[in-house]
Amino acid sequence: MFSEPDPIKRTKSKEYDEILMGPVKAVPEGYTIYDKVTIKKGSLTFQELFDHLKTELGINITMVACGAFSLYN
């Protein structure tokens, strides 16, 4: 049996996430796994990237992952 695929799941901000046990801010709001965010600041270390995101968007980074690998936690 064939059917239409499910709509693409969009990430939304939450005041409290049961799994992460805290707030979650989606940047940008409603992004999907197929979207990407480009930061045109040249070559940055993680700390420089985190500082830029804190200054420009007011967010704190707690984890960076690539697939199943945690790059920063």
Question: Tens of pLDDT along 20-68?
Answer: 888 888 877 888 888 877 888 899 999 999 999 899 878 888 888 887 8
pLDDT computed for residue 48 by the predictor: 94
Q: What is the pTM of this model?
A: 0.58
What is the DSSP code string of the chain? ---PPPPPP----EEEETTTTEEE--SSTT--TT------S-S--HHHHHHHHHHHH------EEETTEEEE-
Residue 1, pLDDT above cutoff 80: no
30 vs 26: CA distance, rounded Å: 7
